[in-house]
Amino acid sequence: MERLSRARRVRALYRCWPAAGVVAALGLSPAAQADDIADLQREMKDMQRHYDAELKRLQSSYEARLRRLEAKLKQAETKPSAAPKQEASTISSAAPPQPLADPPQGQLPNSYPALAPAAATEPAPAVAPGGAAAQAGSFNPAIGIVLQGKASYFGKNPDSYFVRGFPLGDEAGPGRRGLSLGESEINFQANADPYLFGNLTLSIDPDNHVSIEEAFIQSTSLPGGLTLRAGRFFSGIGYLNEQHSHTWDFADQALPYRVFLNTQYDDDGVQLRWLAPTTQFLELGGEVFRGTAFPAGGPAHVGFGTFNLFAHTGGDIDDSSSYRTGLSWLHTNAHNRTTSVSNAPDDTFTGHSETLIYDTVFKWAPNGNPVEQNLKLQGELFAHYDDGKFNLVPLAGWSTGFYVQAAYQFMPRWRVGARYDQVLGNRQSGPLAGSTVDNLGTTARRASAMLEYNTSEFGRFRLQYNRDWSRGAPDDQAILQYVISLGAHGAHLF
């Protein structure tokens, strides 16, 4: 039966080709003239012919293979079978004699007459890993695509955005005014073999720059609860750091992540995780990174600049609620790291930073069924220590930050959310007074509210309002956003 469905799937794919071709052709020739139409029609006919021929070829090859298989099946059936096999046939013979219903009308040509009844009564062999996967295409990785776009209003010019008291990485800005594309994402993933899984996520920014967001391999069968990962990936620290932007509950990242981690710590490295053999979820992990991502950076490091440790634990409180909480410590080194400031020369920093994160997330749904209603509460607390030279002047000190947020689905399709986030820098005296790292006695903070409408689990529209005191005086911001997922059904982290 597996084979039947695959055959149908193949046909469904082939059926799409001519249509896709037309769409592409139309898209490429906006001013379609008579000649173009004739060309198009010819092309369509060609494609149709090609499609038909291909279909025939596939059909005949499948029929031949099915006949061979049926012969084999008959042969196997006539042989004396083992004890459990006999049970199976006792059960099915006692079952009401009518076979399972015919396949839905008009879907199958009458080319698989013998298989359907045989399949209805005879369960497939229990262990047939990959037995039916005969097509070349079936080894293709799963492909998922995320499309995002926004219309944004910012009271203050977002290009000169800053957070009082902090140097910022290049991703920390709030975006651009007006209509713009968000980040488009293409994800490929598959198992390489029984031991390895591979994942590639490409990100394309609105300016057409393609970047590798994640490209890693991961072990699937190490003993002792160990999982090893290597490549480029979002660090496992905190809670939001690992979550891709399309799964966020707000259109932008929380302030402490913006300020301390340039939205997310994403770097080249290796990760080892150990999952405790307990019913309480307990996971310990550590990572070593190259050290190119903010707050690390600079050309002179040796390529092992960042390391961290994290621990997460969690479980179910009852049928309706569950939680996860964790502690992380990130150590980064910077050598002449430059960060840009609008209307001023770049800042430099050489030294090391320690970032501590405490994260908690709590989820609730009636009876654990989130379809109708669900609630998600989360918060993270940051403490960040810099020790080094900022613009060649010694700088050492702690800064802190946190965010708390709630997202509540009050009926299918609709969610509301609220968030408060802040970061607290330091007052500087001496040569650093009035510089980027001087917060002038203010706390950068922001309050946000959002309303979401989901067309399905793959389509999301969000309206968000921020009142942002990052620069001292308040700034009103509004973002209307869509996040759409295509292709492979991405499973989301907790």
Partner 1 sequence: MKCRSLCLVACALLLCAGTVPAQALQIFACEPEWGALATELGGDKVTVFTATTAQQDPHQIQARPALIAQLRGADLVICTGAELEVGWMPILLRQAANGRIQPGSPGYFEAAQQVRLLDIPTRLDRAEGDIHAAGNPHIQTDPRNIAAVAAALARRLAQVDPANAAAYAGRAQAFAGRWNTAMQGWAQRAAAIRGQTIGAYHKSWTYLEDWLGLHEAGTVEPKPGIPPSSQYLAQLISEWPAKNVRAVIYTAYEDPRGSEFVAQRINATAIMLPFTVGGSGRARDLFGLFDDTIDRLVDGLAGGAGGRR
Residue closer to partner 1, measured from CB, 215 or 341: 215
Stretch that binds partner 1, among 247-255, 322-330, 377-385, 442-450 (CB under 8 A): 322-330
Q: Which residues contact 43 (CB under 8 A, 6 or more apart)?
A: 21, 25
Residues 409 and 373: beta-carbon distance below 8 Å: yes
Stretch that binds partner 1, among 5-13, 206-214, 337-345, 348-356 (CB under 8 A): 5-13
Q: Is the peptide bond before 295 cis (omega within 30 degrees of 0)?
A: yes
> Which residue blocks in 79-218 are alpha helix, DSSP H?
83-94, 115-121
Q: Minimum distance between the CB of residue 416 and partner 1, rounded to whole angstroms?
A: 18
**What does the block give as tokens for 54?**
């291909």
Residue closer to partner 1, measured from CB, 33 or 279: 279
Site string for partner 1, 104-143 (x = CB under 8 A): x--x--------x--xx--xx-xxxxx-------------
| C-alpha–C-alpha distance, residues 75 and 220, integer Å | 38
Residues 48 and 14: beta-carbon distance below 8 Å: no
Stretch that binds partner 1, among 37-45, 49-57, 61-69, 187-195 (CB under 8 A): 187-195
| C-alpha–C-alpha distance, residues 43 and 55, integer Å | 18
Residue closer to partner 1, measured from CB, 26 or 486: 486
Q: Minimum distance between the CB of residue 46 and partner 1, rounded to whole angstroms?
A: 23
Q: Minimum distance between the CB of residue 284 and partner 1, rounded to whole angstroms?
A: 7
Residue closer to partner 1, measured from CB, 31 or 127: 127
Dihedral (CA of 257, 262, 264, 265) sign: negative
Stretch that binds partner 1, among 10-18, 344-352, 393-401, 436-444 (CB under 8 A): 10-18
User: Looking only at residues 221 through 250 of this chain, which bind partner 1 when binding is defined by CB under 8 A?
Assistant: 221-227
Residues 226 and 381: beta-carbon distance below 8 Å: no
| C-alpha–C-alpha distance, residues 448 and 150, integer Å | 17
| DSSP 3-state of 484 | strand
Residue of the chain from 17, 51, 188, 281 that contacts partner 1 (CB under 8 A):
281
Q: Minimum distance between the CB of residue 364 and partner 1, rounded to whole angstroms?
A: 10
Pairing of strands 184-193, 414-424: unpaired
Give backbone dihedrals phi and psi of 109, rounded to 5 degrees, phi first.
-65, 160
User: Looking only at residues 411 through 430 of this chain, which bind partner 1 when binding is defined by CB under 8 A?
Assistant: 412-413
Residue of the chain from 169, 182, 314, 425 that contacts partner 1 (CB under 8 A):
314
User: Looking only at residues 342 through 401 of this chain, which bind partner 1 when binding is defined by CB under 8 A?
Assistant: 363, 365, 367-372
Instruction: Say whether residue 1 binds partner 1 (CB under 8 A).
Output: yes
CA 446 to chain centroid, in Å, comes to 26
